[in-house]
Structures are given as structure tokens and as C-alpha cells.
Structure 1
Amino acid sequence: MREEHAVTTVNDLSPISGEAAATRVRVAELQVVRAEAMAGPSRRATETQHAKGKLTARERIELLLDPGSFQEVEQLRRHRATGFGLEAKKPYTDGVITGWGTVADRTVFVYAHDFRIFGGALGEAHATKIHKIMDMAIAAGAPLVSLNDGAGARIQEGVSALAGYGGIFQRNTKASGVIPQISVMLGPCAGGAAYSPALTDFVFMVRETSQMFITGPDVVKAVTGEEITQNGLGGADVHAQTSGVCHFAYDDEETCIQEVQYLLSLLPQNNRQYPPSGPNTDPPARRNEMLLDLVPADGNQPYDMAKVIEEIVDDGEYLEVHERWARNVICALARLGGQVVGIVANQPQTLAGVLDIEASEKAARFVQMCDAFNIPIVTLLDVPGFLPGVDQEHGGIIRHGAKLLYAYCNATVPRISLILRKAYGGAYIVMDSQSIGADLTYAWPTNEIAVMGADGAANVVFRRQIADADDPEAMRERVVKEYKAELMHPYYAAERGLVDDVIDPADTRETLIRSLSMLRTKHADLPSRKHGNPPQ
């Protein structure tokens, strides 16, 4: 019986064995096709890419994601366009690699333009692949990283390419505030293509090799007569320092991608989660005695607020956003007691820490980002007011300053403000004062909270007495002293409940960590509405 059964089994499997052989042939063919797709257009194209100091799309993805975690989507996709020679050239991937993997074991979706294929230009199939991976990222609730290195719309495909960009922009907007979106500029990005990065949460650029502009140097010269290089028009340093389009700029791709990984470690997967906790090796009760020496009691003396932040946060580590743009305000992500926080702080070293148009915009966008992704906000105040001047007024400082006011008022995450020294006028209100909804407000004994500085107040309130005095200068000194004693002493705001406590600067770290721990379960709802109408 055993022999008969064995014979029957062999006889039954004989036809299947033949099919298995055919399947193996097909699998071998698939491996050849995949190898072709993985290799790219040619060795020469790869060498050209490397000669420019640029990595290939797959090399970039390997750097970004955990080893072996990348799962590619639509690797074998090809365009279906005809005419202009396209029908004779149909490479696999169609110039963009899409898929998902992990960074520190957390899911991340990614697409990377392959400049070796059609210069990374976007066509219909190319765009459809990006649309799909964006939809997958939104549905899965995971960050999306785009590695941009493309020449814009594929001219040969006409309006289909333009429609492809429209689909990307629409999805960028749909994903805004839902999942973190990070654009990494690793090559050219011209024309309408530049609007996708502008819609995302963070933009990284690499010096010398990446550029962003709506109209290139040739068009600028033809229209205005101005001559300028690509980097001079839209390079990393220009956008990091002048335009504010770029949040982070680095010298090489490897460092840039490492910093993308670090940023991802500080962000939640989506708007329904909290940022990941980190190891808390820095004692929460560590005293900050250094702050007594770092911050001069004289409100007119400058100091580096970055050093204050470094002293307070875990292990002195923080990631500053827009470090080189609008430097009179600092926006940074850090950890306090292992928990991620967003820090907004005036920088007395630049323009005395005043708020101006660019600083207001920078801080407003950062506050909105923190609120969208459940990141508590700590605000460090040392602000003399808004920057006066005709240019600021005509440039719309009222409108732009209102953006920051709106962002704070609209934020429902835990909010703590700390007044280090001066906090004058409307800038004090705008920088998350208790009156606009800060959950807790602390102040150092060096605080001066008032409508304006004592000298300015004296000139307004006691102008007539000073003018009529036998010794106007002596009278000025006397009334200034009286104004400070009556309305600007360290406990004036605390006595009226506008400051919750006046604390020893050395206790700053412990106070913030304990307060954030208490506020972690905060729940706040906004009125039912479709969306607000923030000032633009």
C-alpha cells in the first residue's frame, strides 16, 4: 500500500512539476527585470550623478531607512506616452522610486526622484506613483519623506504632467496637520514643482547641489536684465537665510539625511499620537545655577538665548528650526524630562529680541506645527516690543504679527510661558501671555512686565511735569524710578494673578518638567467650525 501510494503521488505531481518548471522560468525572468529596474538607465548615468557630488535615488533611500526595511511599490511602472521620442524610451520606475520602510523601527513612506531617468522630470505615470504613496501614507498615518531631485514637469507629456503636480499639491494640503511631511531637496526644483515642498512641514537643502526657484536665471535675465547664478537665485543658503523657504541647510547629503532621521525621532507618526519619549538620562531636578550668570539683570544687556535653552533641556540637545532666518526669535525642538517640546524664544543678541514681520511668521508657523502634532510649547520671553519703522508698518507688521497671535490663541496643546526679563506692550501679549490662553505663566525675579519701558512711559505720562521742572533731568530720573517701583517691580503681575509664580532661575528646568508632566493629560476643544480664517 505504501508503494502504491508513493507511485500515485509521483504520478499525480508529474504535470505540476512541469508547471513548476515554467514558473521558475518566469521567476528568473522577473529577477532579470527587477535587476534592470534596480540598476537604473546605465552605469554612465550613475557615474555622472556621482560626479556632481550627488547620490542616486536608491542610495539615498538606503541612507534614510533602516537596513533591509524598504518595500518598493510599482517598481515596474512605465509611462504610456507617445511622440517626441518617448515611445522608444520606457524605463522601469519612470524616474521615481516609491515605497515604505522604517526609521528607528517606525514606519516612514518615501518617494525619491531618479535624476538619471528623464532628469527626474514628472510625467503622468511618475505622478500617479507619487499620488499612490501619498494616499498610502495618509491612510496608514505615517510620515512622508520626499527626496527631491527633478527638473520639473515633463514637457513631452504636456498638460498631463501639470495635472500630476496638481494631484500632489492637493494631497500635500490634505495631509497637512495629519502626518508629518518632510521635503529633502537634493537637486534642482524649478517652476510649479517648488510649491509641493512649500506646502510641507519641513524643507531640507544641500549646499551647491540643490536649488529652488519659480523662474530660473535665464528667465530672470530675459525679463529684468539681472544676471545671477542658480545658487545665487535659489540655493540652500539663500533660502535658509533670506527667503525662509528652507528650514535646514547642510554641506552634504549624508549629513542632511542623518538630520532628517533625527527630526523624525522628535515627531509623532500622525496627529493622533504623541511624539516618542526618549531616554531620560538628565536628572529632572538638575539645578540651573549657570542661568544666574548667563542672563544679565540689566534689561539692556544682550546675551545668547541659545545658551539658556541648552542649559535647560535634556543633555543640552535641541534641533533649531530656521536657525539662520529671522534670528531675533528662536524656534527649536528638544526634550524636557524625556518628552518632546517646542521652544519659542526671543533672541536678545539679534535686534534686541524684538518681534518683526519675519520673526512673527517664523514663530507662528512653528506654533501651528507643534499644535498639529501634539507637541507642548514652552515660550521664553525677553521682548522689548515690535520693531518700529516705516518699512515694518508698510510691510504689514499688524497683519503678520496677528499670525503669531492667532497661532497661539488657536493652540490647544499644553502651553507654558516663562518671562526672563522684559516683556513690553503688544509683544508681551502675543508671546503666549496668560491672557491669550497660556496654561501656566512663570517669571524670574528679573522680570519687567509693562506697557513699555520706564523711560518711554515717563516721557508719555510725565511729559508736562518734566518740561516744567527746574531740573528736567533730575525730574525724569525721579519719575522713572517711581514708575519702576510702582508698576514694574518683579511681583506686580503675580499680585494680579497674571503670573502663576515667580521662580528662582536655578529651578527653571525642574519647574518646567513638573508642569509639563501635569499638563500631559490636558484636553481642550475649539468651537465647532469648518476651519478658521487666519490673517494672511
Structure 2
Amino acid sequence: MVTSHEPSPAGPRHDLRQRVAELAAARSDLLAGPSPDATGRQHAKGKLTVRERLELLFDTGSFREIEGFRRHRAAGFGLEHHRPPSDGVVTGWGKVHGRTVFAYAHDFRIFGGSLGEAHAEKIHKVMDLAESAGAPLVSLSDGAGARIQEGTTALAGYGGIFRRNVRASGVIPQISVMLGPCAGGATYSPALTDFVFMVRGIAQMYLTGPDVVRSVTGEEVSHEQLGGADAHAGVSGVAGFVYDTEEDCLADVRHLLSMLPANNREPPPAVAPADDRDRDCPALLDLVPGDPNRAYDMRAVIEEIVDDGDLFEAHASWAPNVLCGLARLDGHVVGIVANQPAVLAGVLDIPASEKAARFVQTCDAFSIPLVTLVDVPGFLPGREQEHGGIIRHGAKLLYAYCNATVPRIQLILRKAYGGAYIVMDSRSIGADLSFAWPSNEIAVMGAEGAANVVFRREIAGAPDPEAAREQRIKEYVQELMHPYHAAERGLVDDVVDPAATRRILIDGLEMLRAKQARLPSRKHGNPPS
């Protein structure tokens, strides 16, 4: 237990030095935590303490705590006999790579990190400060949910957090780091933030736990299977980043913060590049096969183009048929959206459309330019997709691109067929620049399918249907799918040498850096649900 250092009665001649000594002792006990036993139990679970986590997140010695001595004022159910300072959450601000960042972090050793009235008010205050100061907010979540002993005041505390999450959305970056349990209504706060990190084995998120699931449905499921890091990274799509250790997780939170602006009024931070802006990328000629039906790894293409091959990929395990991530080109941050031919041939389906739409919206909110790499054969066909709502989910990606005002460059590597070509930031929906490699094929559909539709009767009535079909396919390719067809009609700005891709993208983004674009006056749009 933390020793209580109550201020001693003091007259006008009380020695200030004594007061300072009392304060130092109280602060030392506060930093030490509730008890060695509680700390031991936290470590035995494979978890760091709240102070250890904050030390990893912030630059050394920079964190400034606020309301550290706050205590709850609840009475009854035993709480009146247990009023530890901090009330189970540490709040404040500090520096990450020299830039101001706010944070709140649950202390599971105190009331299991549960949220009560005072606990919530501390979080509300630091969220308000972050918004007022125009600086990112990071939450380190390790709490048992609403504090049952405080009843409805605890629930109201969550409502205040959610309202502030929404108000700050698109204003300051909000990052949730899941380092312990998160259940019930508490899960909505991470879902409202921009990025969610989770650590395997210690973090779980679910609305209803395994016991409730068992009693209602009869299904036997573990905490990890129901709401563990891998479940949310690969199945639900709630978590964008997953790690084996807290140290690796918090190191990447710091890395992400280094690529984000402080708020929506500032550009992303630029750095002096070590990579030559004008270097050629001849390896691209070998990475992408000429045969449009052969798979390849788009990630390797991206790493060849961006500074130092560094792609910070989001949602790597969810909807892997599309890649989304942050990188730098000539030291400036860009958002990359790309089809992945190595998975499902790079088609767009429901999860891929949602993943890319969310990423595009996030980049647009924080003035991060978008580069879209296209090699897409279309939307995934089938009853499951149609009944699952591929129309409205695909429209989310269309809406996100059409609504984006940041600089936008499209690069077509190979296939760009049908509606999926339009949705992948084509010139017709507002891309500022569109480039294509000589291997590009832009068309309503593939040549074989097109010939079978357009010349179906002719092919069926020909003496040699197979020869007739091959002839018509060849003609369709020559007339409508040759590399310069779209360029001749102004839908592509230039057909470029793949080896020059990096330089061309950097030149285009440099030209667009001062882009001015405004949307019509409106309260807000009504995006597809």
C-alpha cells in the first residue's frame, strides 16, 4: 500500500523545506506503486507496470504527470477504506522524439485498472488538454472495465470518453495500445481511435466474455480465441498492429508517432533523407512479371521505391489482398494503398474495401498524401460477396477517395479492370496525377472475357470457334488494351519507365505539396454504412 502523507498543520512560520520534503516522500511512494506484491503479480502475468510502460513510450525523463494524488470519493462496498492515490490511472504528457504527446495509462495493480468517477475525470481532463494543445493522445489500456462499486457514475465516465474520442477524431491522432483486458462498453473507445496496437498473450478485447458466450450460446471459447491479438488482427480487423512483447509494441508506437503530424493543422514531419531522391529502381523490371496472370509480392515493389525500403504496414494480417501503410519519399511521409497480387490475385473484396477506405480517410484527415499502386483484376465475384454487401462496402472506398483532398497519385503497374480500376483512385474520381507502366492493361474486363461477351454469337457460328475466339482476343488487346490507349484519352498522364518510378513519384508529390482543395459547404457527408 502507498503510505499516506497527509499535510501537517502549519502556521505562518511553517518551514517550507519541511513541506518540500513531505512532497518528495509522497511522490516517491506514488511512483513506487501500490505494493511490491501487486507489482510482483503484474510481472508474473508477463506484464510491465504502468510506470515501466510510460518510460518506454516517452523520451527519457520527459513525462509530466498530472493529478497523481487524485483519490476517489465513493463510499460503500468497502471503497471508503481503500483510497489509493492516482485511482488506478496515470495521466500526463511528455515528449516522443522531442514532440509533445499526451497519454493516459491504466494501473491494473489498483482496482484492476477499473474505471470510476475520479478515474474517468482524470482521463477526460487529459483528453481535453490534448485536443486544446493540438497534440497526439495515446492510451495504454490495461483495465477491468467499469468499477461495479461506483455504479452509473462509472458508466457515465465511459460516455464522456467516447464523446471526446469522436470530437477529437480527425483533429489529433489517437492511438490505443491494448496491454491487458478490455471488455464490454470499454472496447468502443479503442474502436473510435485511429490506430489500435495489441500484444499477444496479455491483451484481449470483447463485448461479452467467454463465460457469457458459454451461457448464452453453449460455445466453449478461450479469452485468446474470442478476443486475443491475433483474432483482432487477422479476423475482425480491429487491431492494426500486433506484437509479441510490450517493448516491441511501444517502440513501434513511437515510430508511428514520428510519422504523424501533431494535429490536422500541421503537415506530417519531414526528415532529411539518406536515400537518393533520384536513384533508379531497375530491380522493378524483374520484380513484376510480364505475364498478367503471374503473381508477385507488391510489398517488394513498395520497398524498392520508398526511402530505405521502410514500409510501416497497417493491418498486415487482415485483408492481405490489399496493402496499406506509411512510408517516406524524399523524407516526406506518404500513405501507400496497393493491390497485392500474391493474395487472391489482388482482387477487392469486402474486408479489403473497408481496410483501404479507413486508411484513406485517416491519411486525408492528417494531410498525408496518397500513392495508390494498382494491379487489380476486379471485385471478388460470388453470392457470398454480393449478399455480404460488396456494393456498399466497395462504395466506402470510392467515397473515401472522392472525399480526400490531399495530393493523390495513381500508378498502374499491370491490370486495372472494371469498377475496381475506377475505385482505386483513378483520374475520373479525382486523382491529381495518374501514371502507368508499359505493362498496363486498363479495360472494362480482361480480353478473354470481353471477347466472349462481345463476339459470342460470331465465335459460336464460326467454322473454327477456337481460332475465331483467339483472333478476336488479339484484336481487342490491340485496339483497347494497348499501353497507350488510356494515355491517348487523357486518363493517364504518362506511360513511364518502371525504373524511374521513384523519381517520378517524388517529383509529382513535390509539385502537389501546396495543393489547395475545398469540399462544398456541408454539415457532413453521409458515407455508405
Partner of 1:10: none
User: Which of the residues 295, 304, 315 maps onto 1:311?
Assistant: 304
Equivalent pairs counted in the alignment come to: 520
Q: Does 1:188 align with 2:181?
A: yes
1:483 paired residue number: 476
Match of 1:506 in 2: 499
* Amino acid in the other structure paired with 1:427: A
- 1:20 is displaced (CA, Å) by 6.0
Cα distance per residue 1:370-429 (max 9 Å; x no partner): 000000000000000000010000000000000000000000000000000010000000
Aligned to 2:362: 369
Give the residue type in structure 1 aligned to 2:62. Answer: S
Who is 1:265 aligned against? 258
Partner of 2:140: 147
1:115-514 to 2 correspondence within 5 Å?
Answer: 115-514=108-507
Distance 1:226 1:302 in 2: 39
Asked if 1:57 is matched to 2:50, the reply is: yes
Specify the alignment match of 1:11 in structure 2: none
Give the alignment partner of residue 36 of structure 1, picking from 29, 36, 41: 29
After the TM superposition, which segments of 4 or more aligned residues of structure 1 sit over 4 Å from their partners? Answer: 18-21
Offset at residue 179 of structure 1 (A): 0.2
Return the alpha-carbon distance in structure 1 between the equivalents of residues 497 and 166 of structure 2: 45
Structure 1: give runs of 5+ residues left out of the alignment.
Answer: 1-17
1:187 maps to a residue whose letter is G
Q: Give the whole-Å Cα distance in 1 for the aligned partners of 2:311 and 2:255.
A: 10
- SS for the counterpart of 1:482 is helix
Q: Is the counterpart of residue 110 in structure 1 residue 103 in structure 2?
A: yes
Which of the pair has more CA radius of gyration?
Answer: 1
Distance 1:445 1:20, change over 3 A: farther
Q: Distance in 1 between matches of 2:123 and 2:146?
A: 14
Whether contact under 8 Å (1:123, 1:160) holds in the other structure is: yes
Matching residue's letter, 1:182: I
Contact 1:37 1:91 in 2 (8 A): no
The one-letter amino acid paired with 1:107 is: T
Conserved? CA contact 1:120–1:152, under 8 Å: yes
Secondary structure at 2:86 match in 1: helix
CA distance in 1, matches of 2:32, 2:443: 66
- Distance in 2 between the 1:28 and 1:285 partners? 61
Query: Cα deviation per residue 1:437-489 (whole Å; 9 max; x = unaligned)?
Result: 00000000000000000011011100000100011101010000000000000
How far, CA to CA, are the matches of 2:22 and 2:117 in structure 1?
Answer: 27
Conservation of the 8 A alpha-carbon contact between 1:75 and 1:97: yes
Q: What root-mean-square deviation, in Å, do the aligned CA atoms of Structure 1 and Structure 2 show? A: 1.0
**Is the contact made by 1:409 and 1:437 (CA closer than 8 Å) also made in structure 2?**
yes
Structure 1 position 33, deviation (Å): 2.1
Distance of 1:289 and 1:67 partners within structure 2:
43
Alpha carbons 1:177, 1:369 under 8 Å: kept: yes
* Equivalent residue letter for 1:35: S
AA paired with 2:489?
Answer: R
- Alpha-carbon deviations, 1:306-361, whole Å to 9, x = none? 00000000010110000000000000100001100000000000000000000000
Q: Using the TM superposition, give the Cα deviation of residue 39 of structure 1 relative to its aligned residue in structure 2, in angstroms.
A: 1.7
Query: For residues 467 and 506 of structure 1, what CA distance do their matches in structure 2 show?
Result: 44
Distance 1:256 1:281 in 2: 26
CA distance in structure 1 between the partners assigned to 2:71 and 2:527 by the alignment: 43
1:364 aligned partner, one-letter code: A
Q: 1:19 offset after TM fit, Å?
A: 4.9
Q: For residues 10-49 of structure 1, what are the structure 2 equivalents within 5 Å? A: 19=12, 21-49=14-42
Structure with a larger share of its residues in helix: 1
Secondary structure in structure 2 of the residue aligned to 1:92: coil
In structure 2, stretches of 5+ residues that fail to align are 1-10
Shift of residue 38, structure 1, vs aligned partner: 1.6
Deviations 1:288-322 (A, max 9, x none): 10000000111100000000000000010110000
1:25 Cα deviation after fit: 2.2
Equivalent of 1:90 in 80, 83, 104: 83
Q: What is the CA distance between 1:21 and its match in structure 2?
A: 4.7
Counterpart in the other structure of 1:12: none
Inter-partner Cα distance in structure 1 for 2:23 and 2:500: 65
TM-score in terms of structure 2 length: 0.97
24-33 or 40-49, larger mean C-alpha shift: 24-33
Aligned with 2:442: secondary structure? Answer: strand
Distance apart, 1:37 and its partner CA: 1.8
Alpha-carbon distance, 1:29 to partner: 2.1
Distance 2:119 2:311 in 1: 37
Question: Match of 1:241, SS?
Answer: helix
Report the alpha carbon displacement of residue 23 of structure 1 after superposing the two structures with TM.
2.1
- For residues 487-516 of structure 1, what are the alpha-carbon distances to aligned partners after superposition, in whole Å with 9 as ceiling and x for unaligned? 000000000000000000000000000000
Q: Deviations over 1:99-129 (max 9, x none)?
A: 0000011000000000000000000000000
Q: Distance in 2 between matches of 1:44 and 1:32?
A: 20
CA distance in 1, matches of 2:14, 2:82: 32
Distance 1:61 1:286 in 2: 40
CA distance in 1 between counterparts of 2:36 and 2:90 reads 18
| 1: CA distance, partners of 2:86 / 2:295 | 55
For residue 117 of structure 2, what is the amino acid of its counterpart? E
Q: 1:174 aligns to what SS in structure 2?
A: helix
Q: Give distance in 1, aligned partners of 2:185 and 2:139.
A: 16
